[in-house]
Amino acid sequence: MKSNKNIVLIGMMGSGKSSIGKILSKKLKLTFIDIDQKIEESENSKISEIFSKYGEHYFRKIEEKISLKYLNSENSVISLGGGGFINASIRKMCKKNCLSFWLDWKNETIVERIFKSKKRPLAINLTKGQINNLIKERSKFYSLSNHRINCNKLDKVEIINKISDIYEYE
- At closest approach, how far in Å is the CB of 50 from ligand S3P? 9
DSSP letter at 88 equals: H
**CB-count exposure of residue 82 (10 Å: 0-12, 13-18, 19+):** buried
Mention every residue, 6+ apart, whose C-beta is less than 8 A from residue 73.
6, 31, 33
Binding window for ligand S3P (CB under 6 A); candidates: 66-74, 78-86, 94-102, 149-157:
78-86
Q: Output the smallest distance, CB 31 to ligand S3P, in A.
A: 18
What x-and-dash track marks residues 125-164 binding ligand S3P by CB under 6 A? ----------------------------------------
Beta carbon nearer to ligand S3P, 28 or 47: 47
Give the whole-angstrom CA distance, residue 16 versus residue 10. Answer: 9
Is residue 45 a contact point for ligand S3P (CB under 6 A)? no
Please report how close the Cβ of residue 169 comes to ligand S3P at its closest, in angstroms. Answer: 28
**What's the full length of the chain, in residues?**
170
Main-chain dihedrals φ then ψ at residue 8, nearest 5 degrees: -120, 130
- CB of 153: closest distance to ligand S3P in angstroms? 22
Residues binding ligand S3P: number (CB under 6 A): 10
Q: For residues 5-34, which are near ligand S3P according to CB under 6 A?
A: 13, 17
Q: Which of 8, 9, 20, 47 binds ligand S3P (CB under 6 A)?
A: 47
Sheet holding 6-10, edge to edge: 31-34, 76-79, 6-10, 98-104, 147-150
